[in-house]
Amino acid sequence: MGFLKNFFQKLAAPPKTHVNYFYTFGVRCKRCGEIIEGRLNLNNDLSIDYEDGANYTARKVLIGGSNLCFQQIETTFKFSGEKKLLSREIVGGEFVEEE
């Protein structure tokens, strides 16, 4: 089984040694109720920020694609040095848990 597992991990690995890691989340627009999926690239979207005991901060503005609604939903995430999510804030909507 160990052999098979290694085999599949090799197949799934990107060509570079640095593996991309994504954090995905869902938000619901306050105005129209549309659910929008957001995605952070933990290798590119994080800024170093040592406020509030965190090591990284990421900001993302989401706008829904349907319902002719142009409400901007601003999200802010704080991550630890190991890129574990510590806290998150949202303006213009609310977070919905992924199923």
**Interface of this chain with Zn ion, residues 6 to 25, rule: CB under 5 A:** none
Backbone angles phi, psi at 33, to 5 degrees: 85, 0
**Interface of this chain with Zn ion, residues 36 to 65, rule: CB under 5 A:** 64
Contact 40, 58 (CB under 8 A): yes
Distance CA 87, CA 54 (A): 9
For residue 91 the two structure tokens come to: 């303006």
**Interface of this chain with Zn ion, residues 67 to 86, rule: CB under 5 A:** 69, 71
Q: Which CB, 45 or 92, lies closer to Zn ion?
A: 92
Angle CA 97–63–44, to nearest 5: 75
Q: Tell me: does residue 32 bind Zn ion (CB under 5 A).
A: yes
Question: Nearest approach, Cβ of 85 to Zn ion (angstroms)?
Answer: 24
Please give the residue ranges that form the binding site for Zn ion (CB under 5 A). 29, 31-32, 34, 64, 69, 71
